[in-house]
Structure 1
Amino acid sequence: MAFMPFITAGDPDLDFTRDLILELARQQVDLIEVGFPYSDPIADGPVIQASYTRALAKKLHVDQILDCLASIPWPAGGHRPPLVGMVSYAIVFRMGTAEFCRRARQAGLAGLIVPDLPADEADETTQVARAAGLDLIQLIAPTTTPARTQRILSSATGFLYCISVAGTTGVRTTLPEELSTQLRWLKSQTQLPLAVGFGISRPEQVAELRGLADGV
């Protein structure tokens, strides 16, 4: 099962972010989610919110984050996990979708997760991202209807981000019983890898997902 840790860009500073990404690569992680700090995140719990607040207190700008990612001194021949940006649509829109996607790809990102962009409004952004060489990773929540899920599957690329519980990110002691049913159904509907996020914090939770999810 792929290990896909999340980090906040700029917390405590961008030098640390660069070093942390390199260390995670040395530890052979499979993918790194890079959170772009935003003042009004809709799906992040208190830990990530606090991390975003610390980064924003330094007047961090999106250009600085992209420059930081572009400047990572990847060792020749070393493991280089894909980087996926977790970013609010407000940040993308402010720069311009095409320009943000172009800059993100130049910075070394392989994909974007835009949690506040509804799937039924994502067609144009998906096309622009693809044209830039990026996957736009779609989210599927416990509340996503089968009809809406099919619409998401029709345009999804990269992998599917399956939200384990309704609500925000953060530690959970158990996983919902219905999650395994949802993952089995999704596996019957798509060949895309399934990554599970939100509340995955214990080894026993990862063990429970083995055979159902492709990454956490």
Structure 2
Amino acid sequence: MTRIDDTFARLQSEGRRAFVAYVMAGDPDFETSKEIVRGLPGAGVDIIELGLPFTDPMADGATIQLAGQRALKGGQTLDRTLEIARHLRETDTTTPIVMMGYYNPIHSRGVETFLEQAKAAGIDGLIVVDLPPEEDEELCIPAQKAGLNFIRLATPTTDDARLPRVLQNTSGFVYYVSITGITGAAEAQAEAVAPEVARIKAETDLPVIVGFGVKTPETAKNIAAIADGTVVGSAIVNEIAQGKPVEEVLAFVKTLADGAHSA
């Protein structure tokens, strides 16, 4: 059992949906990023997605691309991203942290070394968007052997023939991408997402969390109501991009969390 498994078991026993928040590590700067991440659990976040900045983020829209550029310009590295996780673990040993990003920085570090360092820093799971199931031996299976969940994305184009392959080695939860395209591109619609969530849940006992296109407390509530929870990323990153104080960013996050938890 990982922290992710424990969190979903607790939420299920409480009859609540999960709220997952994405932030880019090192945005707008290293120290502020540490402060934001440390404040997320108190703002109602059940699982933290910590973005690992990368120079070519092909799945991300402009908001998160720019966040990654700000972070990299400020000197954010893989080591500094792990340091943000360690900083949270000084005060919080229960909130799961999922590192989300691309394979290149992990490959450059070396899979075995990276997994040892990630586990030691308190990372609980990985979402690596450019490693398909055909590459499971590369990172997915080693990660799970090391005790980290490997979370896979399913999308509107993941048909019935492809879905079992996507689910085969997934653990922790399934991340359903509610729209076709990049992050922040459109608003998720619960009536369109519901049949897809049901289709996935018919094939797995894992929780299904819906992300991409969730920008408001109302949408968070509507999407969480038809899934096991929801993810908000670009809307939070946009608050950070506007230079708002940490307390204002966290207050905004709380409105989203309250929306998801009211489902």
Deviation at 1:205, TM superposition (A): 2.2
Unaligned runs of 5+ in 2: 1-16, 231-263
Once the two structures are superposed, the pairs formed by residues 177-216 of structure 1 within 5 Å of their partners are 177-216=191-230
Of residues 57-66 and 169-178 in structure 1, the stretch that sits farther from structure 2 once superposed is 169-178
Of residues 100-109 and 20-29 in structure 1, the stretch that sits farther from structure 2 once superposed is 20-29
Could you state the TM-score of these two structures normalised by the residue count of structure 1?
0.92
Matched, 1:19 2:35: yes
Of Structure 1 and Structure 2, the greater helix share is in 2
Give the structure, 1 or 2, with the largest relative contact order (CA under 8 Å, sep 6 or more).
Answer: 2
Measure, in 1, the Cα distance between the counterparts of 2:160 and 2:166.
Answer: 10
Identify the residue that residue 166 of structure 2 maps to in structure 1.
152
Distance, in Å, in 2 between the alignment partners of 1:89 and 1:73 is: 24
What corresponds to 1:64 in structure 2?
Answer: 80
What does 1:25-104 align with in structure 2 at a 5 Å threshold? 25-72=41-88, 74-75=90-91, 80-104=94-118
Work out the CA distance in 2 between the residues paired with 1:68 and 1:176.
34
Against the structure 1 CA distance between its residues 101 and 128, is the aligned structure 2 distance closer, same or farther, given a 3 Å change threshold? Answer: same
Map of 2:152 onto structure 1: 138
**CA distance in 2: counterparts of 1:34 and 1:73, whole angstroms:** 14
Alpha-carbon distance in 1 for matches of 2:158, 2:188: 21
Q: CA RMSD in A?
A: 1.8
Amino acid at match of 1:111: G
Report the secondary structure of 2:161's partner residue. Answer: helix
Deviation at 1:60, TM superposition (A): 2.1
Q: Kindly report structure 1 stretches of 4+ aligned residues shifted beyond 6 Å.
A: none
CA distance in 2, matches of 1:49, 1:115: 14
Q: For 1:14 and 1:104, how far apart are their aligned partners in 2?
A: 18
**1:9 is matched with which residue: 7, 25, 40?**
25
Q: Distance in 1 between matches of 2:213 and 2:98?
A: 19
Check the 8 A contact 1:159/1:195 in 2, yes or no: yes
Query: Residues 62 and 79 (structure 1 numbering): CA distance in 2 closer, same or farther, change over 3 Å?
Result: closer
Alignment correspondent of 2:184 = 170
Q: Which region of structure 1 is more displaced relative to structure 2, 56-65 or 172-181?
A: 172-181
What's the TM-score once normalised by structure 2's chain length? 0.76
**CA shift in 2, pair 1:71/1:205, >3 Å:** closer
Code of the aligned partner of 2:43: Q
Residue 117 of structure 1: SS of its match in structure 2?
Answer: coil
Name structure 1 gaps, 5 residues minimum: none
Q: Distance in 1 between matches of 2:26 and 2:138?
A: 29
Q: Which residue is equivalent to 2:141?
A: 127
